[in-house]
């Protein structure tokens, strides 16, 4: 557990979001050893506990002596009436024709703190993506507030050839990725519904209380 004002050894570049569903703050950090550690706080940041068993150490960054910590895009959103978290992180890929250090592709990840899915690459081909941020906004248009306009935008730092110097920032509209997110959420909903129905059916057959099983 971490107290307010303290940091875990070897971790930096924190990104913090408010997860209203569980009334918690969630913080993602980049750490030595190539892992992203995630912490939760139920007291508005006075103390932090590592979210082992859910999100912590699921994601990795570049491993090795030359690892550089970079900040991640990390936001919450309500999409298709479901609370989710969206994350952008570099995935390091070394292609056969590439010499030296592998380049990083920026990937978008979706999670609801239970399921986790890699939506795919969001950076331009050949870009060596580093630090990133995300923006999601939804506006209502038309009569009766029936028509919603949604936008998901990624902003990332572009580098070249593994060098320290940045070539600037790149902004990308993630329209296709947002549609994939919606399809994944629809799949999760169907799977959760099927599992719930199966669980109820099994409990009814065995006469087992639902308070102790499938909860």
Q: Which residues contact 35 (CB under 8 A, 6 or more apart)?
A: 57, 59, 60, 61
CATH number, domain at 21? 2.120.10.10
Report if residue 122 sits inside a domain: yes
* Domains contained in the chain, number: 1
pTM assigned to the model: 0.83
List, for residues 102-151, the tens digit of each pLDDT value.
678 899 999 999 899 999 999 888 788 888 999 999 887 665 656 678 99
The whole domain housing 151 covers 2-175
Report if residue 193 sits inside a domain: no
């Amino acid at each position: 557990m971490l107290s307010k004002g303290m940091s875990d050894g070897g971790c930096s570049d924190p990104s913090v979001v408010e997860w209203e569903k569980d009334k918690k703050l969630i913080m993602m950090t980049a750490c030595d050893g190539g892992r992203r550690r995630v912490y939760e706080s139920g007291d508005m940041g006075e103390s932090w506990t590592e979210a082992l068993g859910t999100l912590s150490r699921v994601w990795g960054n570049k491993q090795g002596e030359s690892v550089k910590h970079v900040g991640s895009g990390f936001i919450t959103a309500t999409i298709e009436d479901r609370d989710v978290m969206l994350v952008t992180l570099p995935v390091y890929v070394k292609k056969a024709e590439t010499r030296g250090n592998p380049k990083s592709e920026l990937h978008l990840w979706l999670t609801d703190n239970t399921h986790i899915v890699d939506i795919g690459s969001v950076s331009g081909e050949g870009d060596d993506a580093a630090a990133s941020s995300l923006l999601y906004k939804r506006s209502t248009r038309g009569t009766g507030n029936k028509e919603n306009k949604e936008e998901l935008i990624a902003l990332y730092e572009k580098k070249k050839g593994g060098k320290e110097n940045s070539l600037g920032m790149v902004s990308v509209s993630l329209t296709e990725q947002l549609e994939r997110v919606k399809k994944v959420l629809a799949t999760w909903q169907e799977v959760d519904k099927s599992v719930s129905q199966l669980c109820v059916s099994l409990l009814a057959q065995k006469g087992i209380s639902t308070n102790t099983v499938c909860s």
